[in-house]
Every structure is written in C-alpha cells, then in structure tokens.
Amino acid sequence: MRKVVWTSFGVALVLVNLIAEIAAIYTGVFVSMFIRISIIIGVTTVAMIFYGSIALVNNLEKEKPLSGHVRDTLGEDRKKDGA
C-alpha cells in the first residue's frame, strides 16, 4: 500500500501544479498554494481509500468458510439445541 500512496502523491503533485501553472498562463487565474496542497492531499486520500477497499475485497474472496459443526454460536445452531 505504501507504493500506491507514494505513487498517487507524486502523480497528484505533478499534475495539480502543472494544471495550475497552465491555468495561470492561459487564463490569468492564479491558484494559491493552499488550494493546491489541499487538492493533492485529497487525491492521495481518495487513492488510499480506494486501494484499501480493493485490498479488503481481494482478501475477502480468498477466505474459506469453516468446515464442520460449530456449537458455540449465537445463531441458528444455538436455537436448535433449545437454549
């Protein structure tokens, strides 16, 4: 996950500053550094959330259910025993 976070941070850093400079040159609209940093941190945070979700789903698909009969549950097994 560390590699994905640093990659997304680097890409966001370059792209946000590039887009802001192009906008300043062609339109005359200056984007302050505070807004640029906020956008970079936002993109990095969203990338972390999406990558974490993908990792959780992939690990969930690898899990296998327990085999056999489980008697110490609070679900249907407990209700059948009369407890």
C-alpha to C-alpha distances, 18 to 14, 25, 43, 67, 68, nearest whole angstrom: 6, 11, 15, 56, 59
Whether residue 55 is predicted with pLDDT greater than 80 in this model: the reply is: yes
Query: pLDDT tens digits, residue range 7-54?
Result: 999 999 999 999 999 999 999 999 999 999 999 999 999 999 999 999
- Per the confidence metrics, is the pTM higher than 0.95? no
Contact yes or no for 81/39 (Cβ under 8 A): no
pLDDT band at 65, cuts 50/70/90?
low
